[in-house]
Chain A
Amino acid sequence: MGEQVGYTPLIKADRLAKALGLGEVWLKNDTVNYPTLSFKDRVVSVALSRSIEMGFDVVACASTGNLANSVAANAAAAGLTSFVFIPSDLEVGKVLGSLVYGTNVIPVDGTYDKVNRLCSEVADKYNWAFANVNIRPYYAEGSKTMAFEIAEQLGWRIPDNIVVPMAGGSLITKIHKAFNEFRKLGLVEDTPCRIFGAQAENCSPIVTAVKNGSDLIKPVENPDTIVKSLAIGNPADGFYAYHVMESTGGYGENPTDAETVAGIKLLGETEGIFAETAGGVTVSATKRLVESGKLSKDSSVVLCITGNGLKTREVLEGTYHVHDAIQPTLSDVVGLMDSLKNSSNQKVEEAAWA
């Protein structure tokens, strides 16, 4: 399954670096991962390949959206039946982005954590391969390719710093594991990499633990954030994610929703990449890390941009001024240009950070 998955671009982001006050910044651009435009295609290609080897006919998942899209698409391509369980309040783009593949979408009233608990019980009852429940060890290994590719694309070296969005905390843990495996194999020099984690303010159990310096992860009962892809209140791998950040000298940041929207816009305006909310969290967390002095100009930073903005368009609604329609005449364009000259309205909107 999934031979086409991965090997997404690693982009040198000089304009974003300048805006953030950093030197060398790279973006691992999984907004264009094949086939469903998020890093989850990596984990699903491994989980479904293994499910097929083990003889499962039905695959499933508990998802905050992106995983559901990927399970649905890859199951369709493999001719498997699939069931995707999601919180009933997900973005339209994420729901349609599953339905189109002919999967069975099961919306559940309640938070992701309730969906996840339900799926654990369902996995005990039916003989289905749940990508992130009973097949999770394989799913988790799939995340490693993101770090393998980063090291390869940097010319077989490990970056000085990496910023990773966290939901359940699996991706960040496996990025750490992958760099260690390359070090051990001698494919890269054994240089240190500080690993930083990003979550949304209103659902940041792992970042809160890091800031408190305690690996006791206090679950969040009712996550209330626009960053639905990361809204896991009871992160299964939180304990491990904590220790990855702590042991590498990294840290965690948890920007507000307003900062997240500003981060999405900054990434779009400086690098031409439209990321979903998780990408906005990663960019705005990086900005905070620069402001607090944890990241500086003298070392390289990779940002993991893990999902596509077309899936979470609603967070930008009402935040842009669109010009009134003009007539198809040259004089209307000239008139518009004159009025633009007199307004400051073309300036990058930075309200959230002002």
Chain B
Amino acid sequence: MGIKVLIPTPLRNLTNEKESVEVNGANVAEVFDSLEAQHPGLKERLVDDAGELRRFVNVYVNQEDVRFKEGKDTVLSDGDELSIVPAIAGGR
């Protein structure tokens, strides 16, 4: 058992339309690396060059916003659920 990652619709073209993906990783950053290994192109949609979460991407671990935890260093354990939710905004 690893970490279950919920993939939002706009990113499912990178996961063969899968709604969720199981990966391993001891923290959020490691999960992103594992995601990238399985589904190349995903990581750059989530973080910038410095590895920081992009402005309009929200990441939740078991329903908690990682920005209220340790961000990309938030520790994960087997069975955790990580949800990626794009903030839908803008359209000026």
A interface residues, Cβ below 8 angstroms from B: 110, 113-114, 117, 120-121, 123-125, 132-134, 136-137, 140-141, 168-170, 173, 177, 219, 221, 234, 236-237, 239-240
Contacts and interface: CB of A to CB of B under 8 A. Distances in A.
A125 B12 CA distance: 13
Interface of B: 6, 8-9, 19, 55-56, 58, 60, 63, 65, 67-68, 83, 85-92
B88 A134 contact: yes
The 5 closest A-B pairs by CB, nearest first: A236-B89, A236-B87, A120-B85, A237-B89, A137-B91
A114 B87 CA distance: 13
A81 to B, nearest CB: 21
A117 B90 contact: no
Main DSSP-derived SS at the A contact region: helix
A117 B67 contact: no
Contacts of B65: 113, 117, 219, 221, 234
Nearest to B83: A121
A145 to B, nearest CB: 16
A302 to B, nearest CB: 21
A322 B63 CA distance: 46
B74 to A, nearest CB: 14
Nearest to A170: B89
A240 B63 contact: no
Given A114-B63, A239-B55, A136 B88 contact: yes
A123 B8 CA distance: 9
A240 B55 contact: no
Contacts of B55: 239
A173 B85 contact: no
16 contacts: A113-B65, A114-B63, A117-B58, A117-B60, A117-B85, A121-B83, A123-B9, A124-B8, A140-B91, A168-B89, A173-B92, A221-B65, A221-B68, A234-B58, A240-B89, A240-B90
B63 A117 contact: yes
B14 to A, nearest CB: 15
